[in-house]
Structure 1
Amino acid sequence: MLAHMGYGTRSEIKRLVKQGAVQVGGKTVKDSGLQVDPELETITVDGERVEFREFVYLMLNKPQGVISATEDSRDRTVVDLLADEYVHFEPFPVGRLDKDTEGLLLLTNDGKLAHNLLSPRKHVPKTYFAEVDGSVGEADAVAFEKGVELDDGYVTMPAKLVILKEGDPAAGRVSKIELTITEGKFHQVKRMFQAVGKKVVYLKRIAMGPLLLDEHLSVGQYRELTEDELKQLKGREND
């Protein structure tokens, strides 16, 4: 339990026990292998109460240049952005964002929640903000609503395109849009715009299911989910 909570390696914890630093129910522990129920018993280390929890849920505003993985031999990963107090829980990204894509990424060690959010059968909506090179208009919105054919012949499920600002290629102005999709094909947003002759030049995920990217999180920053956010996610999990 103490290793899970980041109090050290097993050998370091054995040393703490030998030093008399660990107490269970107010009594000093002499056996580092003692089995405990953290929900029923009070455990302290150096007088500090251990607040046990099994899972962590983190909202990250992913920066560009960082990959959605737990480890990589060449590039920095999203886990590399986390403090040690979270790393020892061994969280992983729920789904992925491309290396050059910013925005909302959930990290957790709750495999059941992750599986349900990623299950193709659940059709969890994901909303992106994008800047697109080219004039995005109502014809594109209609095409996306029907589903467009990607470069490999796959026809996408209906998607909702909201045009925030129509670009002007002649003036060098990009279109600004929001797009909500309910599937997660490889490079899907970029490939959908390619299908209608446009190019995404900036992409940021702003929502996943009921979870909205916290506007106060700067790029590269993260925080734990609130109880309400977690409740909404788990409600979605049971849909």
Structure 2
Amino acid sequence: MTQAGRQGSPRNSSGRKGPERNAPRGAAQGRGAGAGKRDFPKGGDRPFGDRTYKAKPREERFVDPDEAPAGRRPAGDWKPGSKAPASRTGAPKAGARKAAAARKPGANKAPGTPGALKPKSGAPKTAGSRAFGSERFGQSLGPVRRPSRTRGPRAEVPQSEVHDADGVRLQKVMASAGVASRRVCEEMIAEGRVEVDGKVVTELGVRVDPKTAVIHVDGLRIQLDDTLVYMVFNKPKGVVSTMEDPEGRPCISDYIRNNQGERLFHVGRLDVATEGLLLLTNDGELANRLTHPSYEVPKTYLVQVRGPFPQGIGAQLKDGIELEDGFASVDSFRLVDSTPGHVLIEVVLHSGKNRIVRRLFDAVGFPVLRLVRVKVGPIGLGDQRQGSIRNLGKQEVGHLLASVGL
């Protein structure tokens, strides 16, 4: 096709001639095909087929330098507050880090064996490394608080002193009791966190007899006897603290379901008008220690009396009051809430005398309107519904046993 034919073809919508197409913008046009057309100044509207396109100035996105990744300019699609891709920040991917860790000498060896990697000191512990850390039920009570007693230094002992050739491996016993996985239990042993019969064990080859061994992890007693039961009952008002009542009044057994015939003891008593926490168990040794005065297990009560409550009464209760059966006092006194005509007080005491809280407040001239026990030792009611019974978690059982030296 000739040059003239190409200029007149439908594809050339402007109809301009070749020389005119290359003419400077804004120059005067001749009387040819382009005559009479609008001149477009530089930077203005330009033809785009049958439409016009208005060029807009590019807006620079503001990026806070404090939020941008250090040492790099953010990409065009990066927004403040979002994480930049790993490839742009230079951080290694998770798979690469795991592969590098697996190539370290001793990475595949069990803790405590020759050549194995030593655990990092001061590294944060995961939830699984805590005894019963993966437990779904019960309350997490934190570190164990044992009663103060004279104890010698925790020294490592030879394996032969606690080893039972016919027993079960220690890490297997711990894993079966729900402490953690067997691998994590091995790490606990290697770190010196496990005691067998009061002696620290750090060797992984130790075997023990689950029926006779007493095992502690971080001071937390592991209960290996599956027949022992530990429950919390939120007693309502009007229920008698007995398993059976000859007068036909509501009692504890009316609220127990599927107890499979085991005999349960109620640890202590609450009078008929008092509500709150009552421990139930078939562990006779624990029940005896919890009620024995020498262990001084604290009990927490919420007391409602008529207000206003004058100052100085709390100090008087803490100093002690002479009752008909001897001297009595509270360990702590705290004003929780005050409304017109009523005052809510929290008291903690370790005395197990009958109706001791009511008699103390009667002695200072403020009879109790409502009394609720909310805590015994480390075990609390929390949001447990009144009239319900729940099993204690294994971590709670360990704290309860430790509170009385078991």
Which TM-score applies when normalising by structure 2?
A: 0.43
Distance 1:87 1:148 in 2: 45
Distance 1:125 1:199 in 2: 22
Residue aligning to 2:405: 238
Residue aligning to 1:47: none
Distance 1:158 1:59 in 2: 24
Deviation at 1:174, TM superposition (A): 1.1
Which contiguous aligned blocks of 4+ residues in structure 1 show a shift greater than 6 angstroms? none
Distance 2:378 2:311 in 1: 26
Q: How many pairs align?
A: 182
What's the C-alpha RMSD, in Å, of the aligned pairs?
Answer: 1.7
Residue aligning to 2:45: none
Distance 2:396 2:310 in 1: 34
Q: What one-letter code is carried by the residue in structure 1 that aligns with 2:302?
A: F
2:263 aligned with 1:90: yes
Residue aligning to 2:238: 65
Which TM-score applies when normalising by structure 1?
A: 0.72
Residue aligning to 2:142: none
The percent of aligned pairs where both chains have the same amino acid is 35
Secondary structure at 2:259 match in 1? helix
Q: Deviations over 1:157-204 (max 9, x none)?
A: 443111112455xxxx11101110111111111110011100101010
2:245 aligned with 1:78: no
Distance 2:382 2:265 in 1: 20
Q: In 2 relative to 1, CA 87–77 (structure 1 residues): closer, same or farther, beyond 3 Å? A: farther
CA contact (8 A) 2:244 2:253 kept: yes
CA contact (8 A) 1:79 1:87 kept: no
CA contact (8 A) 2:307 2:343 kept: yes
2:336 aligned with 1:178: no
Residue aligning to 1:136: 309
Distance 2:353 2:308 in 1: 24
Q: Which has the larger radius of gyration?
A: 2
Distance 1:223 1:180 in 2: 24
Q: Deviations over 1:213-232 (max 9, x none)?
A: 131x2110110001111000
Secondary structure at 1:138 match in 2? coil
Secondary structure at 1:176 match in 2? strand
Secondary structure at 1:59 match in 2? strand
Q: What one-letter code is carried by the residue in structure 2 that aligns with 1:232?
A: H
Secondary structure at 1:149 match in 2? strand
Stretches of structure 1 that go unaligned for 5 or more consecutive residues are 1-38, 40-51
The higher relative CO (CA closer than 8 Å, separation ≥ 6) is in 1
Residue aligning to 2:385: 218
Instruction: Name whichever structure is richer in strand by fraction.
Output: 1
CA contact (8 A) 1:158 1:181 kept: yes
CA contact (8 A) 1:137 1:163 kept: no
Q: Deviations over 1:36-66 (max 9, x none)?
A: xxx8xxxxxxxxxxxx832111111111111
